[in-house]
Amino acid sequence: MHPRLELDVGWRDLIWAAIGRRRAQVALPPDAVVGLSVRTLFDALLVELALPAAAGIAMSAVTVHDMAAIVRAHGHGVQPVDIDLDTLAPEPAILEAAIGSQSRVFVLAQLYGARAGLADVAAICRARGVLLIEDAAQAFDGRLGLAEGADVSLYSFGPIKTSTALGGGLAFIRDPNLAARMRVRLDGYPQLSERWFRRRARKYVALKLFNMPWLYGLIVRGLEQTGRDPDRVVGGMARGFAGQDLMRAIRHRPPAALLQLLAARLAAPKGVGSRATRGEALYAALGPSVERPGRHAIRPTHWLAPILAADPGALVRRLRAAGFDATRGATSMRSLADADHPCPNADRLIAQAVYLPSGPSMGARAVERLATVVREALRL
């Protein structure tokens, strides 16, 4: 069975991390603020912004649920802003209508390894005096830096990300004083141990072993036969903070070994081009009749390969029976819509998305077979 998730890190890097072997020193970007994760950086940013309690934080309506949880932990309300399914960003008119007089920050999550343009969003935020945070945790494409028009750009190198270092995040911040205050705050956090990082690396050695299609199929079948949900088990293994007290877990400094691995990965980001190429090949095989969220987004890296299906559960079952571990919920993304803030596009995306496998184990024949099964299941 072809797994839905294949780690973007080589055996050498993983094994060196697991045994604690030191690396040659490579510098991280000097203009970046470095943290344990994007969640860590976002939390520290909100502390240093010191927004009044009544301040609202607008967020694009599909995002990692922990980001909204962090906002609420700081006592702020979340204002979800619906997105266009073709660009995965809010339409300007929707954003203008959604940002209220109390809004002080807008967080745009770049989804599925694609990057929506910020020109219109940035113009609206500037006119309203709203800080624009680009959450590019899923969208690293080999280039780092502050996106044009953004006040903050956040990048993640967590376990399942492109060019993963098994953790770590970078923030690029327009205001140098704000960046300096964040560095001071982050430097005051307790540091995780090298032993913690070795244990973490060993877990991902095991997960990479499980990625072998013949072994992965046996594991999935075994989980199903014992009544366990493969989505929960595999998804839980892949998430950096699963099952932990979120605010306590993120307020740590990364160990030196993690930063060394992160610097080495950024010096030679090998996975970006291959992921993009495989993703484009998959979508080309599926054809234009298969609905693909983000089809008009720019600079796609295809960190995930989602499609939309009217009956996603039936499609997942069909694909798994054919040897492809598709999933509806292997990610931690959620719709932020609620009764007071309806977001029909966000709700539809989360309700109908099916994530297809597109990793290195998917050769050309497997891609064609996957596309055939999808089209037959969708009756296209």
What are the tens digits of pLDDT across the range 257-277?
999 999 999 988 776 778 888
User: Which pLDDT does position 243 carry in this prediction?
Assistant: 60
| H-assigned helices in 63-193 | 65-73, 92-98, 119-128, 176-187
- For 207, the token pair is 């997960």
User: Which pLDDT does position 42 carry in this prediction?
Assistant: 98
- For 97, the token pair is 């209508």
Residue 172 DSSP class: E
Q: How far apart are the first and last CA of the chain?
A: 24
DSSP, collapsed to helix, strand or coil, labels residue 294 as: coil
- CATH superfamily of this structure's domain 271-378: Aspartate Aminotransferase, domain 1 (3.90.1150.10)
0.85 exceeded by the pTM? yes
- Specify whether the CB–CB gap between 102 and 55 falls below 8 A: yes
Give, in order, the Cα–Cα distances in Å from 272 to each of 25, 53, 71, 299, 331: 23, 40, 30, 11, 20
Stated length of the chain: 380
- Interatomic CA distance for residues 39 and 250, integer angstroms: 7
**Residues of the chain under the 50 pLDDT cut:** none
Enclosing H/E stretch for 221: helix 213-225
b/e per residue, 242-277, with b = 16+ CB within 10 A?
eeeeeeebbbbbbbebbbbbbbbbbeebebbeebbe
| 129-174 pLDDT per residue, tens | 999 999 999 999 889 999 999 999 999 999 989 999 999 999 999 9
**Residue (of 55, 59, 27, 28) closest to 42 by Cα position:** 59
Beta strands in 252-357 (DSSP E): 306-308, 333-335, 353-355
User: Which pLDDT does position 269 carry in this prediction?
Assistant: 74
User: Which pLDDT does position 258 carry in this prediction?
Assistant: 95
List, in sequence order, every residue forming a beta bridge with 152; answer none if it has no partner: 133, 173
User: Which pLDDT does position 273 carry in this prediction?
Assistant: 76
- Specify whether the CB–CB gap between 113 and 106 falls below 8 A: no
Q: What are phi and psi of 369, to 5 degrees?
A: -65, -40
Q: Starting at the edge strand that comes first in sequence, how are the strands of the sheet with 103-109 ordered?
A: 33-35, 169-173, 152-156, 131-135, 103-109, 56-60, 77-81
> Helix 65-73 to helix 38-49 angle, to the nearest 10 degrees?
30
Give, in order, the Cα–Cα distances in Å from 155 to each of 36, 184, 372: 11, 20, 35
